[in-house]
Amino acid sequence: GATTIQRWGFTPPSSRGGFSPSQRLQANDIGRSITGEAEPGTLVQLTQGFNDVVVDEILVDSSGVYRFENVITGRGGSNTYRVFLYPDGQLTADPEIREANFSTLPGQLTKGASALVVSTGLSRESSQNGNFFGEFTDVRGGIAYRLGVTEDLTLGMGVVYDESVLGLGELFYQPGGFPLKVKVSALLGTEDEGIDYDASITFQPSPKLSFNFNSDSLAQRFRVNWQAFRGLTLRASGNTREEALAAGISISHTTQNLSLFASADMDTNNNLRWSLRSNLGSLRLSHRGNEITTNSQLIYYLSNSSSSRGHSLLLGYETRDSNNRDDHLARLAWRYRSPQRSSDGRYLWDLDFGYGFGSRGNGLIASASSAVIPGLVLRLRYQEISTTSDGSTFRIELSPNINVQSGISGADTRFDRLRSRGGLLIQPFFDNNGNGKRDKGEEIYVEEPDLLLLLNNKSITSFRPDIRNNGIFVKLDPDTYRLDLDPAGYPIDWKPEESAYAVEVVPGSYTPVTVPMVLSYTFAGVVTDGGGEPVQGAKVEAVPVDSGKSIFSITNGAGVFYLEGLQQGKYNLLINGESAQPNQIEIKPDSEPFQELNLSILLRP
């Protein structure tokens, strides 16, 4: 298929290197809602592009509805989405493939600005007679026009052809100075009910409180989110399809060695849905479940505690309660992910080999994918056992992986396009000797940049970075940008010397940004008084002997303190402003990152 957009009176946000709230121009950042019905227990994957890259997945609960919200299109990426439905959650099964059923929610345009969108294409279906290219059928297309009527109101209208001619209407309303957003999209003339619509109203009176109401042809829903405290959010929701109300809670906590996110919701039909994600050193735990299934994974990284690359061991356990039968499956597996990646961030090799034990029997479970061949992605999966079957299944996929949206040439277009544009070369590295510059042998850290890096308050992945062994390349227009480092992405026992940078991008080159990551040390222990009893509420302070920032901690009820984020050097130790015993520590290059140190209050004569 092909899509063309003609704009008048504005440029898309990507030409500015990011979204400017003052302009409220979102035509190249269109949020879409993709929704549909499926049997409970179905694993639904949302894929993007002609190579079907999985961008999100949902396990359908008892409501029988899947819904992907705020799916971002544009930004130079593919606008082609499909939905893969795997019955009973089995990835080796032949999935039902649906074209993404979405409603376009246009961004607001300034007064007088407008856009014309023309799109057409064919659907490809797998051939039953062995034809490798499949069969191209079902011509689809449409034309739509959007206009910024006022500074607060954008309207759109058009015609869509999808087996029949449908009318399209759109509305986006965001009054200035009032925290309200209204989005409505409707298709007129559908066979079922004559109209297929998606309406969303969001009211956010404060950064910590938001109300959302959504209605479409399947159900009406509302959701309230309130961030009661840092790391604690309370929420309430309801929908007419299940005729249920729900209340829930989510918590998040991040320290130097631990990250944790957990959420749980209970509705008036006594359905409990929950999820948990946690990292602790070399361990990573994930767990999710609902009234039909549960799925748990514990991963131990053998190669690097701060990296998902290399070798790892995986222990998994899943359960399924369906058709009056309870099934379970435990799996022990070895996984390998290559240190090298392709230009789009895929691992060149991703291997998984394990053995499963369950209520249906036992057997091998293995998968492999490779992006070694430029432009092609190969995926294999073999499974002898699952929670729904003891039969062997095998699946092979060969997908093209060529991005032609920005054009094709024999040259390195990544550098050719810099003639009028620029970019950033971001190089976080392990500064082993603490001299602030990258020396020979000091490794560049490019793991999980989506957690580590924020550019203009957005995840770095929003700018489609090119992740390579020598750094993270980001193409941008000339401007000044803010680069932040989020503690959620810090490598274990390391932290950056600076957490924020202002960087200028000029045309014709990549601006290098080196980010030294230095070892971070922690001292923990108990403060006691002259009688050996723990002291509650004492201020324990580490003051650099030479220069630098003081670190302090307040003891808890057991007298425990944690002094985190210390650097190499000498520190004087104080308790409530007085010298402690011992009164000084020295951190050397060969010191352990975590040390235990008990302190006592000096008795005055």
What rounded mean pLDDT belongs to the chain?
A: 79
Domain check: are 417 and 513 in the same one? Answer: yes
Single out the residue in 481, 496, 518 at which a domain terminates: 518
What are 40-63's pLDDT values in tens digits? 888 888 887 655 667 778 888 888
Mean pLDDT is highest, among 76-80, 266-270, 321-325, 447-451, for: 266-270
- Residue 209, in any domain of the structure: no
Question: Percentage of the chain surpassing pLDDT 70?
Answer: 81
Mean pLDDT is highest, among 253-262, 293-302, 366-375, for: 293-302
415: DSSP letter: H
Residues of the chain by 3-state class (helix, strand, coil), percent to 5: 5, 60, 35
Domain check: are 480 and 542 in the same one? Answer: no
| CATH number for position 490 | 2.60.40.10
Domain check: are 564 and 502 in the same one? Answer: no
Rounded Cα gap, residues 536 and 557, in angstroms: 5
Q: Is 91 a residue whose pLDDT tops 70?
A: yes
**Residue 505 structural domain:** 413-518
Q: Is 573 a residue whose pLDDT tops 90?
A: yes
CB atoms within 10 A of CB 88: 19
Which residues touch 94 (CB under 8 Å, ≥6 apart)? none
488: DSSP letter: G
Q: Which residue has the higher pLDDT, 229 or 541?
A: 541
Residue carrying the six token digits 């894929």? 47
Domain check: are 472 and 510 in the same one? Answer: yes
108: DSSP letter: P
- Residue 504, in any domain of the structure: yes
Q: Is 325 a residue whose pLDDT tops 60?
A: yes
Rounded Cα gap, residues 319 and 333, in angstroms: 18
Domain check: are 417 and 512 in the same one? Answer: yes
Rounded Cα gap, residues 555 and 539, in angstroms: 7
User: Rounded to whole angstroms, what are the CA distances from 234 to 210, 212, 238, 477, 493?
Assistant: 11, 14, 14, 40, 32
Rounded Cα gap, residues 516 and 430, in angstroms: 6
- Residue 432, in any domain of the structure: yes
- Residue 315, in any domain of the structure: no
438: DSSP letter: P
Q: What angle do CA 106, 109, 114 make, to 5 degrees?
A: 90
Q: For the chain, how many structural domains are there in total?
A: 2
- Residue 501, in any domain of the structure: yes
Q: Stretch 412-425: mean pLDDT, rounded?
A: 57
Q: Is 535 a residue whose pLDDT tops 50?
A: yes
Give me the phi and psi of 464, to 5 degrees please: 50, 65
- What pLDDT does 58 receive? 83
Give me the phi and psi of 497, to 5 degrees please: -70, -35
| Residue 419: strand, helix, or coil | helix
